[in-house]
Amino acid sequence: MKTDDLRDAYLDFFTEKGCVRRPSDVLVPNDPTVLFTPAGMNQFKNQFLGIGQLEFSKATTCQKCLRTGDISNVGVTAYHHTFFEMLGNFSFGDYFKKEAIHWAWEFLTTKKWLGLDPDRLTVTVYLDDDEAFNIWEKEIGLDPKRISREDEYENFWPAGAPTDGPDGVCGPCSEIYYHPPGGGKCVEIWNLVFTQFNRVGSPPDNLRPLPMKNIDTGMGLERTASTLQGVESNFEIDTLKPLCETVGEVLGSKYTYAGEHGRAMRRIADHVRAVTMCVHENVLPDNKEQGYVVRQLLRRAVLESYLIGKQEPVLHTLVPKVVEMLSKPYPELKETTQSVQEAIREEESAFLDTIERGLNRFNKCLDNAKSSGVIPGEEAFHLHTTDGFLYELTEALAAKHNLKVDRSGFETLMEEHGIISNAGKQKSVMAEGPLDAIRKTSGNTEFLGYDSTEATAKVVGIIAEKQLVEELNEVGHKDLVAIVLDRTPFYAESGGQVGDVGTLTAEGIEFDVQDTQKDGELWLHIGHLKKGKIGIDQELVATVDADRRDGISRAHSATHIMHHALRTTLGEGATQRGSKVQQDELRFDFAHKRPLTAEELTVIEDIVNTYISEGASVSTKMLPIAEAREAGAMALFGEKYPDFVRVVSMGDFSKELCGGIHLTNTGQVGMFKVIAEEPVAKGVRRLVAYTGEKAISEVRAKEAVLKEVMSELKVGSTDEVVRKIQQLQNDLKDAKRKLSDQMRQSIGDDVNDLLAKAEKIGDVSLIAHQLDNVDKDVLRDYADRLRKKTKAVVILATEIDGRVALLAGVTSELTKQGINASNCVKAAAKLVQGGGGGRPDLAEAGGKDPAGISKALEAGLQYYREQLQK
């Protein structure tokens, strides 16, 4: 059975059993307890906890998941992945063990579905779960010898929960194993979790029966596909083997499972697949949180490619194959193929450059480690943090020289510097917080803001210092607090639009709302109590700052128009990567590999202002999400949308899924002005623009500056400004040239003076000197003359237009002794907040801090001293 057919069969089976088919959650869920979605049950947290209205009591999904806990096993074992798909079926107080076990057995063994040989299946149950054991033995008819009882660390969720915790919802589980013909290793293909307890405190008697018993079961799609297809590894199934083979083609080495580079190619296939799915959902390589994980996954893949022999970017060419293999369940991947490729290519190039730059430091580590046979953890740490070397790269290159790396010391330093920490590790998914208590007692906040900016509402929750309180009476309190209302006209920050501000008032009460956020469907009005006291059930008048809201609406509607203009001008590949909309100001991130030209920016600006002048109508409509997509409504990838979505249409040119506040007519934007175009990340650009009053103020401010410039230049028209400035620049260049010529005439005397005063080590002159009012050519001239006169090492500096220019020079015969001008200038540049490099005999650097020049020169000298005294 093909993998795509297995996915459909599973979902069809449980739909026939009455389960509601739900879409996969996004890879980065709105859940602070996880970095990425690790399992199918995560999106049903509220249903499992009994929070909110239960719209359905049983469900089935195929969930996109990403885990990195066993990353070292990826490509080594038959079944480990980072990105994978988990098939699941769930019950929230509906069916329980009997149905879960019977249905799993039916799906696995009947010919209508998978038709696996029952004699090749065995199961496990929790030690004292007699109920599950009896169902397997007496109802399914399984021989007791094929049912094993395991302890809480094997057959309980979370593992070890009765003894080790955490507190919260938990329960025993039953696993199903398949034993392949020929005596191959058995594989777990299904795990049925029976969440029937609430753990409270330490044992004994700490498992309290839940009033509503739940089912959470998961079947690994790739594992089961490999079972059905009779192959030895997940990487040999129909949706992964072609990708591994494409990896081989790209690397110029045929892929076979047991081949020389088989493991490395499987790792590359896995990691590029995971990175493709993440970048598609707007998770770009970065140095923090999810972006850090994506960067490390991609760098690990590049490392494998590099060690096989590819020293140029090639892995981005795998993206179309990833998309092809996953196009049936996720057709939307086709829309971002180009931008995903570009983002990966940029990161590949950057990391390969990093490797080349770091090889000098690594070679020194090799020299230092030859006597001990071990590269110290401290040196591996500096390679990682300073030069971007992954630990695995250091380890692999060291192994080629029969050296080891002190991994323990490396990890200790990573932990001490907070690079490895508990941040981002999964916490208890089922832990309740103060907001969950409000949801259980009061339900969701009703949003009224599409139609009004003022409404009467009742207080249903007050959160201060992360705890629920009954009353707020401390006027002028230091820390922000949150007021939760049963209904509100305040827009809570989402979809790129900032939260509303305003006031909550009643007789003798005033609360200043400085921001509005939301958690699920609860609105949090965040701010300070200015007067009176507020308690639960207090009635308040919620009033939004209407002028600010109008400015936000102008900017938000303009964002939609600009999105259309971008795609019209740059092509369909300019997909949205994020936005922020505030009062008469917007920023919009989009996929694009190069800066926009002045002409392109003008075209975009003209298109937007044309649609504004036409005064096209803006309308909104609630539609089922499938119907909205069929109608052509654009969505932001990586966003989780509800079953019914709000579609915002502008004229006949723009249709997007959006929950934000908008105008009723594009003409109300008034004016649109692009302010900046800049890079955000590799393959991502940002446009910043103003609308309405802010755009008008910007134009007037620039007009005022232009008038002042005209006055200073003493010209009568704007046409003369450029000509006058060009004339002044030419005059300045001439003056600098004359000054440099004069300086060169006196260089000879200066060179002799510097040599006379130079520090000596043996027969080598050490020279460090700051020159005033010279250009880089003069620095080079000094260095050349000094090195021709005698055997010398030189570090020179000057300040040019508020920045530092550094130049290091070494007599050629000294470079053969390992003295390197590039290393010298790099050491000096750090002291002026800069960087640079060059050849061993001549190198340049720049810096931002002229105040550090004297220290920079001393650092350069110190480098030379250390090298000459070795």
- Could you tell me how many helices (H) and strands (E) the chain has, helices first? 25, 35
Question: Residue 804's closest CA among 853, 839, 844, 739?
Answer: 853
Helices 718-745 and 692-713 sit at what angle, rounded to 10 degrees? Answer: 60
Tokens at residue 673, please? 């002005």
Give the list of residues 6+ apart from residue 51 with CB closer than 8 angstroms, or none: 45, 436, 439, 440
CB burial of residue 852 (10 Å; 0-12, 13-18, 19+): buried
Tokens at residue 865, please? 């001293």
- Would you call 659 helix, strand, or coil by DSSP? coil
* Comparison of pLDDT for 468 and 748, the residue scoring more: 468
Residue 249 has pLDDT above 80, yes or no: yes
E strand or H helix at 338, and its extent? helix 337-369
d(CA 553, CA 549): 6
Q: What is the pLDDT of residues 759-814, one digit of tens each?
A: 999 999 999 999 988 888 889 999 999 999 899 999 999 999 899 999 999 998 89
Helices 718-745 and 776-789 sit at what angle, rounded to 10 degrees? Answer: 10
Q: What percent of the chain has a predicted confidence (pLDDT) above 70?
A: 97
Q: What is the pLDDT of residues 26-44, one digit of tens each?
A: 998 877 778 898 888 888 8
Q: What is the pLDDT of residues 685-742, one digit of tens each?
A: 999 999 999 999 999 999 999 999 999 998 888 888 888 999 999 999 888 788 767 7
Strands in 803-810's sheet, in edge-to-edge order, are 759-761, 764-770, 792-800, 803-810, 842-847, 835-838
Helices 776-789 and 747-757 sit at what angle, rounded to 10 degrees? Answer: 60
- Would you call 410 helix, strand, or coil by DSSP? helix
E strand or H helix at 359, and its extent? helix 337-369
d(CA 333, CA 637): 9
The four Cα atoms 154, 156, 162, 164 give a dihedral, to 10 degrees, of 60
* Comparison of pLDDT for 744 and 680, the residue scoring more: 680
* pLDDT value at residue 649: 95
E strand or H helix at 216, and its extent? strand 207-220
Alpha-carbon 182 to chain mean position: 44
Beta-sheet pairing, 471-472 with 534-535: antiparallel
Question: Residue 811's closest CA among 840, 834, 769?
Answer: 840
Mean pLDDT of 225-237: 94
d(CA 378, CA 406): 8
Q: What is the pLDDT of residues 46-97, one digit of tens each?
A: 788 777 777 899 999 999 999 987 787 888 888 889 999 999 999 999 999 9
**Residues present in the chain in total:** 870
Mean pLDDT of 626-638: 86
Which of 91-100, 136-145, 476-485 is predicted least confidently? 476-485
d(CA 288, CA 276): 18
d(CA 868, CA 502): 69
Residue 358 has pLDDT above 80, yes or no: no
- The dihedral sign for the CA sequence 40, 46, 50, 54: negative
DSSP conformational letter for 551: H
* pLDDT value at residue 743: 65
Tokens 């997509």: give the residue.
629
Work out the angle at residue 85's Cα, subtended by the Cα atoms of residues 59 and 156, and round it to the nearest 5 degrees. Answer: 70
Which of 435-444, 765-774, 820-829 is predicted least confidently? 435-444
Residue 779: C-alpha distances to residues 355, 793, 824, 844 (Å): 31, 14, 16, 10
Assess contact for 193 and 161: CB atoms under 8 A: no
Give the list of residues 6+ apart from residue 777 with CB closer than 8 angstroms, or none: 740
d(CA 514, CA 530): 12
d(CA 278, CA 326): 13
Residue 421 pLDDT grade (very low, low, confident, very high; cuts 50, 70, 90): very low
Tokens 């109920």: give the residue.
131
Assess contact for 590 and 687: CB atoms under 8 A: yes
Report yes or no on whether pTM surpasses 0.75.
Answer: no
Residue 438 has pLDDT above 60, yes or no: yes
Tokens 């530092």: give the residue.
804
d(CA 694, CA 423): 40
* pLDDT value at residue 68: 84
d(CA 408, CA 377): 7
Q: What is the pLDDT of residues 307-343, one digit of tens each?
A: 898 989 999 999 999 999 999 999 999 989 988 999 9
Alpha-carbon 253 to chain mean position: 32
* Comparison of pLDDT for 680 and 766, the residue scoring more: 766
Assess contact for 172 and 132: CB atoms under 8 A: yes
Which of 162-176, 278-292, 732-746 is predicted least confidently? 732-746
* pLDDT value at residue 551: 96
d(CA 523, CA 491): 8
* Comparison of pLDDT for 489 and 406, the residue scoring more: 489
d(CA 786, CA 102): 89
Residue 578 has pLDDT above 90, yes or no: no
* pLDDT value at residue 427: 45
Mean pLDDT of 160-168: 89
Bridge partners for 121 per DSSP: 178
Residue 424 has pLDDT above 50, yes or no: no
Mean pLDDT of 167-183: 90
Burial per residue of 60-79, b for 16 or more beta-carbon CB atoms within 10 angstroms, e otherwise: bbbbbbbbbeebeebbeebb
d(CA 354, CA 820): 19
Residue 637 has pLDDT above 90, yes or no: no
Mean pLDDT of the chain: 90
d(CA 664, CA 71): 51
d(CA 735, CA 312): 46
Residue 210 has pLDDT above 90, yes or no: no
Residue 441 has pLDDT above 50, yes or no: yes
Cα-only R_g, the chain: 33
The distance between the two most distant Cα atoms of the chain, rounded to a whole number of Å, is 105
